[in-house]
Structure formats: C-alpha cells, structure tokens
Structure 1
Amino acid sequence: MMRKYEVIFILHPSLDEDAVKANIEKFKGVIENGGGTIENVDFWGKRKLAYEISKVNDGYYTLVHFNANPELPKELDRVFRITDGVIRHIIIKKEA
C-alpha cells in the first residue's frame, strides 16, 4: 500500500553545486529504487538556518514529496544518516 510522504533535508554549505545535485539525485534514486514514486522535488537553495548546528549557519534546503510503501522511509533515513554533508533531515507521513 502506497502512502504519501514528504522529506526535507539540509546539505552542508561547503558543498559545491555538483555535489549538491549529486546528493539530491542519490536520494531520489533511493526512493525510486525502493519502489517509490516522486511527485515533486523543490530545491530552495542556500538559506540561513534557524539556529546554528555544529558551527554552521546556513545550508542547501531541498523538499521532496513522494509516494512509497511503509518500509522505504526507514531505508531513506538510514541513507541520510550515513551520508556526509547532510546536516539535518526529517521524513513526514502526510495524511491522505
């Protein structure tokens, strides 16, 4: 059964443009290879963080809306945790 999710993640500001695009494609690939479908990818660009995280004050924000089975967010969370350059992420199940 497919459910609707959204994920927002913040990448480290020291990454260059190619590394940011590569990371976004990597996370899209995890969703698609896990049987999910991506509805929308919204790259917000470099923004100031609400508060300092590990002496970093800004980052690259990306919002992704996708449909997936209930197991996929666990795998996506694991990939976010082991990927260098990810400052923060959150995966939210949306009400249908």
Structure 2
Amino acid sequence: MRTYEMVVILDPSVDERTVSGTFEKLVQVVPAEGGTVDNVDVWGKRKFAYEIDKKSEGIYIVLTFTAEPATAKELDRQLGLNESVLRTKLMRVDETKTAGAAQPAADESN
C-alpha cells in the first residue's frame, strides 16, 4: 500500500457547510477497497489564477489516504465523473523524503 495526497476542487455553488459530509460519501471507495482515509482538510473557497469552466473560485479539499494504486486510480476516476468536481490532482507521497525530513527534527531536539 502507498500513501497518496489528492487535491480536489469543487464547484463553488456547493454549500460549504455540507462539503465534508458530501465529500466523505465520495471517498468511500478507499475503505471499501481496504485502504484508509488518513486526513480530510477542507480549505474552503479560494480564487483561481485563471477561470476553470467559467468559474473564478472553487472549494479546495486536501485528502490524504493510504491505498493500493488501483484504488487511487478508481477514486480519481469516480471524482472525475462527479459534476460538482472541477479538478483533481493525485500525488503519491514519497515515503523516503517524509522519513528523512522527520529524522533531522528529532536530532535537533537533543
């Protein structure tokens, strides 16, 4: 299993108070396939640098999860089919860089 980070931009017409609940339903494919959702961080409405689908802002959500590569691909596919999702960006978290970054911080505390 690998750790992934996904940035999802939702249509700004979606009610911000219900974003977390709605998004939880969308990512149910991860636990259904044996993965785990580690963190869901809703950033809220942000302006775009350029228009996407004639919209100048969107609701940003950052999702961190652990799953098999096929599950990550399926989640990205399902989110792409949803009409309220404007963009997705799926990135694999590099475990070696994460472990290396945590180690020097521990050394400095001594």
The TM-score with structure 1 as length reference comes to 0.89
Q: Which runs of 5+ in 1 are unaligned?
A: none
| Letter aligned with residue 65 of structure 1 | T
Give, in whole Å, the separation in 2 of the partners of 1:35 and 1:51: 37
Give, in whole Å, the separation in 2 of the partners of 1:48 and 1:3: 31
Greater relative CO (CA pairs within 8 A, separation 6+): 1
CA 19–82 in structure 1, closer or farther in 2 if over 3 Å, else same: farther
| Letter aligned with residue 5 of structure 1 | Y
SS of residue paired to 1:65: strand
CA 43–86 in structure 1, closer or farther in 2 if over 3 Å, else same: same
1:1-96 paired onto structure 2 within 5 Å: 2-17=1-16, 20-96=19-95
SS of residue paired to 2:73: helix
Larger strand share, 1 or 2:
1
CA contact (8 A) 2:42 2:60 kept: yes
**Superposed displacement of residue 28, structure 1:** 2.8
Give, in whole Å, the separation in 2 of the partners of 1:86 and 1:6: 16
Task: Give the 4+ runs in structure 1 shifted more than 2 A.
Answer: 17-23
Aligned residues: 95
Q: Which runs of 5+ in 2 are unaligned?
A: 96-110
Percent identity over paired residues: 44
Give, in whole Å, the separation in 1 of the partners of 2:62 and 2:46: 13
Structure ID, larger Rg: 2
Give the aligned CA root-mean-square deviation in angstroms: 1.4
Larger helix share, 1 or 2:
2
